[in-house]
Amino acid sequence: MQLLYRSTRNNTETVTASEAILKGLAPDGGLYVPDTIPLLKTPVEELSRMSYREVAFNVMKEFLTDFTDEELLECINKAYDEKFDSEEIAPLVKKADAYFLELFHGSTIAFKDMALSILPHLMITSARKNNIQNEIVILTATSGDTGKAAMAGFADVKGTRIIVFYPEGGVSPAQEKQMVTQKGDNTFVVGIKGNFDQAQSGVKEIFGNKELEKEMLGAGFQFSSANSINIGRLVPQIVYYVYAYAQLFAKGEIAKDEKINFVVPTGNFGNILAAYYAKRMGLPINKLICASNENKVLYDFFSTGEYDKNRDFILTTSPSMDILISSNLERLIYEIAGYDSRKNAEFMKSLAETGKYEITDKMREQLEEFYANYSSEEETAEVIRSLEQKHKYIIDTHTAVAASVYEKYVQESGDSTKTVIVSTASPFKFARSVMNAIDPKYDALSEEELVEELSSRGGIKVPKAIEELKDAPVRHETVCEPEQMENEIKKFLGL
């Protein structure tokens, strides 16, 4: 049976999975959601004997029903290969009282690789299936990691171009260097004088610009998105939750049907939404623990029922989570509003006009399976320090936000359910913040010295992604005001 997708803002029309992937965002500004969330058919005993690729196939085929098995297998095989420096693709590491699910073994050493190494293949396949002749222009806003991971995936892919907007000065030095040194004639990187929310709002506006769309079509271009608003990013992210569960079962750490918790360091709400979908597929999950940094708009939302982005934007040591408008929350709102797209559209209109909205008590009751909290900068640093001291395990700042919130959760709830902390980036990507947390004396070191020190102290090899940065020439120097984004796009496309 074909699974169709509808917009969260007008659910009267349906599209296929491949059409949803091609479009990225629905024409009404809403996000595509599946009509129903399919159940996971493969029993855990079987899943526990499967490779990452095999689990990926079993999960993704339930969502991408208009892809043939051959098409999907080809995408999966091209994505999850030697680009990853771990054969397991997403290894589980047991430290302290939790399991860390390391999602940073891909080519750009952050979890975005998990989905962005497959998205280009899904996109090209979707274009072929729908007889699209236009060149696909991937338009992406990044808080630091999506941009590089998307470009790594799309660089020199025929029939595509990719444009990335990032907040200048709002990402880590390694993140920025990774982006501005990006190769590939079809890539274009622009720093904006603003924050991630401005980049993301600008991109969403451009998606909704009908005049530009016409002009693009005339020149043989059409837009799509590599942000987690694209269902083609969300679906591959469900895979590693299932894989993690199957691995715990395979290792004898959990019994059949035993529930586990997941702690997810959250920004745009894409990663944790994938965990929620995994739960809805039938994966035995107890609590979905949503961890924020000091930009704690989600914590406030879960505690009060009011989403309010009217507050200062704080630059933290976990920049990929410096976000006040968590786009993917819209998919959850739509769901708890009883699939009422009109009601959801009203909330989103209110968010756009006043910066806030408040959900009803009936909707709040459905959020019981979530626990949310946040970690201050000091608490985040403290967790990095103590894990290194006690367990010789060095985690990055985003993962540390999650580990810190997990400590709070255990203290508050006394819950001893086995728990997986989703580890979203390599510490090498945020070397200065990580090493400063371990010992402030490191602040005197240069970026390169920090990397060396991190490597020897942690007993971990410097990842290729960091080695490569050393002598990479800068290829992208464009910086613009948020209002100039459309102009820059036109220049790059020659419109």
Ligand X SMILES: *Cc1c(COP(=O)(O)O)cnc(C)c1O
Q: Report how far apart, in Å, the C-alpha atoms of 165 and of each of 48, 145, 211, 237 are.
A: 40, 11, 21, 23
Report the DSSP pairing between strands 98-102 and 92-95.
antiparallel
DSSP code for 425:
B
DSSP code for 146:
H
Select from 56, 89, 321, 431 the one that contacts ligand X (CB under 6 A).
Answer: 321
> Which residues, numbered 121-150, are part of the site for ligand X (CB under 6 A)?
145
Cα end-to-end distance, the chain, whole Å? 42
The length of the chain in residues reads 495
Separate counts of helices (H) and strands (E) for the chain:
22, 15
Q: Which of 242/290 has CB closer to ligand X? A: 290
Q: Which of 44/323 has CB closer to ligand X? A: 323
Q: Report how far apart, in Å, the C-alpha atoms of 375 and of each of 103, 192, 213, 399, 470 are.
A: 21, 28, 42, 11, 33
Select from 24, 34, 270, 427 the one that contacts ligand X (CB under 6 A).
Answer: 270
Stretch of residues binding ligand X (CB under 6 A), selected from 250-258, 260-268, 342-350, 454-462: 260-268
Q: Which of 171/451 has CB closer to ligand X? A: 171
Query: Coil, strand or helix: which one is 309?
Result: coil
Query: Which amino acid is located at 251 in the chain?
Result: K
Site for ligand X contains 271 (CB under 6 A): yes
Select from 18, 268, 292, 419 the one that contacts ligand X (CB under 6 A).
Answer: 268
Query: Coil, strand or helix: which one is 164?
Result: strand
Beta bridge partners of 225: 139
Provide the minimum distance between the beta carbon of 423 and ligand X in the complex, in angstroms, as a whole number: 9
Site for ligand X contains 425 (CB under 6 A): yes
Stretch of residues binding ligand X (CB under 6 A), selected from 248-256, 267-275, 356-364, 374-382: 267-275
CA within 13 Å, CB half, 282: 12
Site for ligand X contains 117 (CB under 6 A): no
Give residue for tokens 């420096």. Answer: 85
| Interface pattern 217-236 for ligand X (x via CB under 6 A) | -----------x--------
Select from 6, 112, 280, 296 the one that contacts ligand X (CB under 6 A).
Answer: 112
Q: Report how far apart, in Å, the C-alpha atoms of 424 and of each of 90, 111, 201, 240, 421 are.
A: 11, 5, 24, 12, 9
Catalytic residues: 112
Select from 265, 427, 458, 463 the one that contacts ligand X (CB under 6 A).
Answer: 265
Select from 24, 147, 267, 427 the one that contacts ligand X (CB under 6 A).
Answer: 267
Provide the minimum distance between the beta carbon of 132 and ligand X in the complex, in angstroms, as a whole number: 27
Q: Which of 221/243 has CB closer to ligand X? A: 243
Provide the minimum distance between the beta carbon of 21 and ligand X in the complex, in angstroms, as a whole number: 18
Report the DSSP pairing between strands 135-141 and 221-225.
parallel
Q: Which of 370/492 has CB closer to ligand X? A: 370
Q: Which of 47/451 has CB closer to ligand X? A: 451
Q: Which of 48/142 has CB closer to ligand X? A: 142
Site for ligand X contains 463 (CB under 6 A): no
| Interface pattern 301-320 for ligand X (x via CB under 6 A) | -------------------x
For 111-140, the DSSP string reads THHHHHTTHHHHHHHHHHHTT--SEEEEEE
Interacting residues with ligand X (CB under 6 A): 110-112, 145, 228, 265-271, 320-321, 398, 424-425
